[in-house]
Amino acid sequence: MPDISTLSKEQAAQELERLAKEIAKSDEAYYQHDDPYLTDAEYDRLKHLNEEIEKKYPDLVRADSPSKRVGAPVKSDFKKITHKVPMLSLADIFSEEELADFVKGVQKFLNTDKDIEFTAEPKMDGLSFSARYENGILVSGATRGDGKTGEDITDNLKVIKGLPHKVEAADFPQVMEMRGEVYMSKADFFALNEKNKEENKKPFANPRNAAAGSLRQLDAGITKERKLSLLVYTWGEVSKVSWKSQSEFLKKVEEWGFPVNPYNRLCHNLGEIIESYENLLNNRADLAYDIDGIVYKVNSLELQARLGFLTRTPRWAIAHKFPAEQAVTRIDNIRVQVGRTGALTPVADLEPINVGGVMVSHATLHNEDEIKRKDIRIGDYVVIQRAGDVIPQVVSVVLEKRASGLKEYEFPKTCPECGAHAIREEDEAVRRCTGGLSCPAQAIERIKHFVSREAFNIEGLGSKIVEEFFNEGILQNPADIFTLEERNGGQEDDLFSSNRDGLHLENREGWGKKSADNLFKAIKSRKEISLPRFIYALGIRQVGAATSLLIAKNYGSFNNFMEKMRIGDTEKLVSIDGIGEAMAKDITEFFKEEHNLRIIAKLLDYVKVEDFEDTTDYNSPLSGKTVVFTGTLEQMTRAEAKAKALSLGAKVAGSVSGSTDYVIMGSSAGSKAQKAQDLGVKILSEEEFLSLIGQR
């Protein structure tokens, strides 16, 4: 970004011309083709730069300046509708400081230091619409367009669920333009993209583009197929205003049968405004739809009237944008990691960048095909996305910024850790190292898995220590863990020790007698282990904690299970609901490998695997039911609730589908609750769940 303070007038004029072109091009891609190529953050940056330069050289403001426009002119295919009351935009702010300034500015303008009421409304990330009613009948609908003229989308609006075609309320104004946002929920967006993928159509970049692309269809039949939703948050032309404030309006709108956002709040002072901002920011990922910030509006219409408008935006409202969760940075390198089962996973090392308040320096690239599909090359500038706690991902390459001479990335055909061939089996997305446990990376990952929380859960053996111990030859396989104490040797001042030349972990840098003793204690306490944990700890491909529990339930003891597997008897295995042929094959192959059998034999020298006693209550009302938990529970943790449900014979699933029997909803539940509602799945509150299982 150029330094504005050193910009000559001539350079400023050039820069403004460049920005006008760039922003217009981006607007066209965004508004007319629903296919943006700049991230929101990049776009905001360009707009901001334009405004800053214009502020310094007001006489250079161009006739086609982006600061004079809202959106882009409408596509010609649609009929046009002129808005009697223009559809305006809002000024953006990005920090609590600016927010405080805004509130102070309003007070100053009104010449008061009393607290002023504001509504705080989630800023829906969709596209705005205006729906006109005459005598209670929906007569026309329009997009915002450039604010003055929009596209006629009457037929399309009519097929969106939730928008009344007729309003009979006695106090509904004779002429009433309802305005709000059309959007697509995240669940519907993902479903649509899945379908597009199957049909080899280009997927939409995000729910907003999907909503825009679906709404602006000349054939309303297509709009109807795509699931769109809408909310009302303001009005345009109206024959009689009978409400005195925004909050009163929102209440009335709801009474008239229009959807309004349940998260709208009325705030009485700056503290409450900030609170609502933080609340929404924190719960953003759980919402069923995307929001990109909060809109604050002075509540009183009388005060709104006094405050009035600036050129394109009201003085009584502002949009507080959330930090961008996307950013652009460069790929310095592509590394290939080797996992426990030999899977090669490519990772991008990035020029570190701040994405939505968190520094990001790596992103996952998933697999070979993903790199090819997106044509990601070392040295490329890419759009990075972070959402909630998922690992940052590379969304796309910014081709405009690609340096010449960057070579297409070639995925290694040998393991970067051990040099063995890396092969791809038919129908598999991943390439795997064939080195097995002679590959140090696989051996290390297996030990890490063995000591992990859901497996042996050995505290004191973190990833770094496992790596160190492996590289120094202290631990070569999981069984070695149980001889650590014996090999450690007595203390050096212990003259009677038979093993003074031992490992002496207590002498390692950063260790001491206490930490070594604690580790030995932790290991000792795991010498008796439950069957599901033991099976899971082996690290068989595809066998997670839930599958291990199923196996334990069905086989009862480890000996029984292993015997059946060794003779290749999988009849019972494949009859288990949740275990298929492919998984059964992975399991039997695991038990065919000599090395695995040797380690298991050694482990069984030190470890006692408890037989599995099935304490499941098959007579409980949850027995055989599939349940999904969502939101925050008050009385117990999610893990407890899950364990409880399992012990009552339920299956606990991670996502809602047609076969879900109950969704148990805690507070601030998000898309799962919405999906349950859409599918007609029974939703239970935490209380109802507790009383169903007889705990209330």
The residues of the shown chain that bind ligand IVH, judged by CB under 6 A, are 88-90, 121, 123-124, 128, 181, 233-234, 295, 314, 317, 319
Closest contact distance (angstroms) between CB of 89 and ligand IVH is 5
Query: How many Cβ atoms from other residues are within 10 Å of residue 578's Cβ?
Result: 10
Closer CB to ligand IVH, 30 or 450, in the complex = 30
Closest contact distance (angstroms) between CB of 390 and ligand IVH is 25
Q: How do 422-424 and 291-298 pair as beta strands? A: unpaired
Strand order in the sheet with 229-238: 137-143, 127-134, 175-183, 229-238
Closer CB to ligand IVH, 41 or 576, in the complex = 41
Closer CB to ligand IVH, 38 or 397, in the complex = 38
- 191 CB-contact burial (10 Å; exposed 0-12 / middle 13-18 / buried 19+): middle
The answer to whether 374 and 352 have CB atoms below 8 angstroms apart is: no
Closest contact distance (angstroms) between CB of 98 and ligand IVH is 15
Query: How many Cβ atoms from other residues are within 10 Å of residue 488's Cβ?
Result: 19
User: Which amino acid would we find at residue 499?
Assistant: N
- What span, in angstroms and rounded, lies between the C-alpha atoms of 250 and 232? 8
Closest contact distance (angstroms) between CB of 287 and ligand IVH is 13
- What span, in angstroms and rounded, lies between the C-alpha atoms of 313 and 318? 8
- 637 CB-contact burial (10 Å; exposed 0-12 / middle 13-18 / buried 19+): exposed
Closer CB to ligand IVH, 249 or 536, in the complex = 249
Closest contact distance (angstroms) between CB of 125 and ligand IVH is 7
Closer CB to ligand IVH, 177 or 181, in the complex = 181
* Residue 585 annotated among the catalytic residues of the structure: no
DSSP 401: G
Instruction: Please give the C-alpha separations between residue 88 and each of 103, 244, 318, in angstroms, as whole numbers.
Output: 20, 21, 12
- What span, in angstroms and rounded, lies between the C-alpha atoms of 44 and 21? 15
Closest contact distance (angstroms) between CB of 210 and ligand IVH is 16
Closer CB to ligand IVH, 30 or 470, in the complex = 30
Closer CB to ligand IVH, 44 or 661, in the complex = 44
- Tokens for 46? 């360009």
- What span, in angstroms and rounded, lies between the C-alpha atoms of 506 and 250? 67
Closest contact distance (angstroms) between CB of 349 and ligand IVH is 37
Place of tokens 């209550």: 617
**Catalytic choice (104, 108, 114, 123):** 123
DSSP 380: -
Residue in 189, 179, 308 with CA at minimum distance from that of residue 236: 179
Residue in 117, 123, 120, 90 with CA at minimum distance from that of residue 264: 120
Q: What is the largest CA-CA distance in the chain?
A: 101
Active site residues: 123
